[in-house]
């Protein structure tokens, strides 16, 4: 398996809101790199939910409701919802 093929777009994640307490310890304003190979410290619950969209964005795809270089996604934990914004680096 290729570790970082040249066609994969690197992504940056920024936590934009935290409602409650994130069990992975993320706080509003945190930034980190994230990819199909690195969860960036997100808990498995959130990473699993985000992974399909993360893959689309990292490999150059886009959704009709979003720009190609930015995506906002919310954690599936309703009591401690974390919202992250992904951007291409």
DSSP helix/strand/coil, 45: helix
Position 1 scores a pLDDT of 46
pLDDT band at 73 (very low <50, low <70, confident <90, very high): very high
- Contact criterion met (CB below 8 Å) for 32 and 41: yes
Q: Please tell me the pTM assigned to this model.
A: 0.83
pLDDT tens for each residue of 1-44: 455 567 788 899 999 999 999 989 999 999 999 998 899 889 89
pLDDT tens for each residue of 32-41: 999 988 998 8
Task: Give the integer Cα–Cα distance in Å for 47 and 75.
Answer: 9
């Amino acid at each position: 398996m290729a570790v970082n093929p040249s066609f994969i777009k690197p992504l940056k994640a920024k936590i934009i809101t935290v409602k409650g307490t994130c069990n992975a310890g993320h706080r509003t304003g945190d930034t980190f790199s994230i990819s199909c190979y690195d969860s960036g410290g997100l808990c498995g619950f959130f990473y699993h939910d985000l992974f399909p969209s993360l893959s689309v964005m990292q490999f150059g795809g886009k959704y009709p409701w979003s720009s190609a270089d930015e995506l906002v996604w919310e954690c599936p934990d309703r009591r401690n919802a974390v919202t992250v914004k992904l951007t291409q680096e």
